[in-house]
Amino acid sequence: MIIFLDESGDLGFDFRKRKTTKKFVITLLVCNSDAARKEFTKAVMRTLKNKLNQKKKNSRQITELKGINTTLEIKRK
């Protein structure tokens, strides 16, 4: 079993600051086999390649999906 954990939000919880989020989210992805992990990794890499890292001159390569920087179309995919 392989478990991936990711968090989103602000750990500071200082609500006097303007940019502090009011929510903190923890996400787990549990893969019961190495085959499932490989398929999930392949799907993420394919999305990065086809939607974000298209071959353009001088474009930066994105290696991590950030929700705040991702379009709704890519989030739905």
**Would you kindly state where each structural domain of the chain is located, as residue ranges?**
2-76
∠ CA 45-47-48, rounded to 5°: 65
Alpha carbon distance 18, 16 (integer Å): 6
* Close Cβ partners of 5 (under 8 Å, ≥ 6 residues apart): 26, 27, 28
pTM of the model: 0.53
Q: Tens of pLDDT along 17-69?
A: 777 777 788 999 999 999 999 998 898 888 777 766 666 655 666 666 676 67
